[in-house]
Amino acid sequence: MFFRTDMAVERRDVYKAANKIENEINGIECEELKKSDITVTRVKILNKEGEKALQRKIGSYITIDMKKINNITVEKEEEIIKTFSNELSEIINKHIKKDEEILIVGLGNVYATPDSLGAKVVQNIEITRHIKIYLPNAIDKNTRSVSAITPRSAWNNRN
């Protein structure tokens, strides 16, 4: 099967429709949470059968979707940010211990709008590694050590 999408949830839906599957695909678990007009879908590919069906590696794939994003309020924007933050925190806490360091890599091309998110996000990350090393008394001892890297061109366009 040929897919025109990279998103696991869309691949799952296309596969189910093409194969007339009403329940869940063997090797796939899917959980959908709706809160107001934000939908969080978690697709887990559990085995080789799931890999073959969705043409994705075993793992967890999360999609956060919101319709009509063009004219959102500040409150709705905060809700989206909180939803994303909660999902990311769950992933980090599941795979990385509290005392371990994190490296954030902001990939993307700052000059191509659809590809610029990674580079732009790094500009808003609180980088703490250097503070924990050189000024440990100036930062809460429970603060995680965070480093970041992004393509050099992204820093040339900081606002």
- Residue by residue, pLDDT tens for the chain (159 residues) are 666 777 899 899 999 999 999 999 999 999 999 988 899 999 999 999 999 999 999 999 999 998 887 888 899 989 999 999 999 999 999 999 988 999 999 988 878 777 778 888 888 899 999 999 999 999 999 999 999 998 765 555 555
Which residues make Cβ contacts (< 8 Å) with residue 66, sequence separation at least 6? 37, 38, 39, 72, 76, 80
Contact indicator for 83, 35 with CB cutoff of 8 Å: yes
With vertex at residue 110, the alpha carbon angle to CA 93 and CA 71, rounded to the nearest 5 degrees, is 75
Contact indicator for 28, 50 with CB cutoff of 8 Å: yes
What pLDDT was estimated at residue 103?
94
What pLDDT was estimated at residue 56?
93
With vertex at residue 154, the alpha carbon angle to CA 71 and CA 86, rounded to the nearest 5 degrees, is 50
Contact indicator for 108, 115 with CB cutoff of 8 Å: yes
What pLDDT was estimated at residue 3?
63
Which of helix, strand or coil describes residue 159? coil
What pLDDT was estimated at residue 123?
85
Residue recorded with tokens 């090797």 = 27
Instruction: Take residue 88 and report the two structure tokens written for it.
Output: 């990311």
What pLDDT was estimated at residue 157?
53
Task: Give the pTM.
Answer: 0.73
What pLDDT was estimated at residue 62?
95
> What is the pairing mode between strands 102-105 and 146-149?
parallel
Contact indicator for 75, 37 with CB cutoff of 8 Å: no
